Amino acid sequence: MSTFKAPRGTYDLIPPVSATFLAVREALAAPLKRAGYGYMETPGFENVELFARGVGESTDIVTKEMYTLTTKGGDQLALRPEGTASVLRAALEANLHKGGNLPVKLWYSGSYYRYERPQKGRYRHFSQVGAEAIGAEDPALDAELIILAVDAYRSLGLRNFRLLLNSLGDKECRPAYRAALQEFLRGLDLDEDTRRRVEINPLRVLDDKREAVQQQLTGAPLLRDHLCEACKAYHEQVRELLTAAGVAYQDDPKLVRGLDYYTRTTFEFVHDGLGSQSAVGGGGRYDGLSEMIGGPELPSVGWALGVDRTVLALEAEGIELELPAPTSVYAVPLGEEARRALFGVVTELRRAGIATDFAFGGRGLKGAMKGANRSGARFAVIAGERDLAEGVIQLKDLESGEQTPVPLASVAEELRDRLG
């Protein structure tokens, strides 16, 4: 056993569980690839100011949860707590928005870091698949991304998730609502930190999960009652497109999400089988974020879906994904000459696209066959000196126990036929 352990609030992905995480990642990304989203990667750390401006100085993410560090050169960096600000920064730096073909549609996958109180479903290191559509203001784009997320969840077999939907308005109608909400909140019995938040960004208070705060929010003014006509029409188009696509949703007038950059369409996917950590993904429109980080006006929309939370949702519904066996064929050599010959066969099978493993370490037949059974392989290829002299190997079906000789030259073809 090692002296060291994974840091508190983190986890190691180890086979066979890691195979489920990979399958979930691939399932969440598959609809995006079909819809023209290109893959992007960004560094695991960025300038602190990128997140302070983009995510919002009043958010818990920036004030309490970011991992920050100072380099030997004096630069202030932060491990990325979310993906959107980094992806937009990278797109602007690469001038992707100047190609004339807007929106720029990107997807990404990676690890993110927040200093949170560890509990099931909430980690300090977590994995997400995200998507961003940069440079277009179109309700069809908002609906497209929501539908792609729904399709991804459904492809995994999930059924007990709900889509919550809201509109946060825009720079035309939000100021009046902000003033009305501040007036309401200033009359409540709030702690000093929350009162400070009321002055910086009062919408953050609506997102406060503490029961003592939520009880006082009864009767708070709702943004939907302050939306301008343009925002109302935009939101109604999103709703109509979702309904036409067979996507059910629930209007949630208090949904604001935890980031300052959202405008207009805001949404969250929740799963009722996960307890307090019920959010499995979410996103929204962020039309002003590009300008916040020094770029041009680029209306955009995106989402991030939690891989960890999606795996927990699968467990809550009792869904076991059908995963391909890591090994289809296991090679068992009997003797040094057979070891050299079968190693060549293993290489040939792998190059033919057949997942194949080898009995390493010079084990005897009994030990090697135990390894074959533990590997989950469907077939074993076994060879000794007599087999090689006859130009054959023994092909054993590990399910039925049937064993037949197969000419050495046609092993790959025979296995392709049997494995389909």
Binding residues for L-histidine: 82-84, 114, 128, 132, 257, 261-262
Q: Which residues contact 343 (CB under 8 A, 6 or more apart)?
A: 331, 333, 358
3-class secondary-structure state, position 136: coil
Q: Which of 364, 304, 366 lies closest to 339 in space, CA to CA?
A: 364
- Cα four-point dihedral sign 106, 111, 112, 117: positive
Rounded to 10°, the helix 17-34/139-155 angle is 150
The Cα 348–Cα 359 span in angstroms is 16
Binding site listing: 82-84, 114, 128, 132, 257, 261-262
Q: How many CB atoms sit inside 10 A of residue 255's CB?
A: 21
How far from the centroid of its chain's Cα atoms is residue 20's Cα? 13
- For 170, 181, 250, 335, the CA distances from 203, given in Å and listed in that order, are 13, 8, 20, 73
The Cα 254–Cα 319 span in angstroms is 32
Angle, CA of 240, 300 and 270, to the nearest 5°: 60
Which stretches does DSSP call E strand in 76-115?
76-79, 104-113
What is the maximal distance between C-alpha atoms in the chain?
92
Tokens of 410: 């046609």
Q: What are phi and psi of 84, to 5 degrees?
A: -60, -50
Q: Which of 247, 284, 304 lies closest to 25 in space, CA to CA?
A: 304
The Cα 403–Cα 396 span in angstroms is 4
The Cα 130–Cα 304 span in angstroms is 4
Question: Which strands, in side-by-side order, build the sheet including 379-383?
Answer: 356-358, 329-333, 379-383, 392-397, 403-407
Q: Contact, 331 vs 346, CB < 8 A? A: yes
The Cα 336–Cα 385 span in angstroms is 9
Write b or e for each residue in 334-372: b if 16 or more Cβ atoms lie within 10 A of its Cβ, otherwise e: bbeebbebbeebbeebeeeebbbbbbeeeeeeeebbebb
> How long is the chain?
420
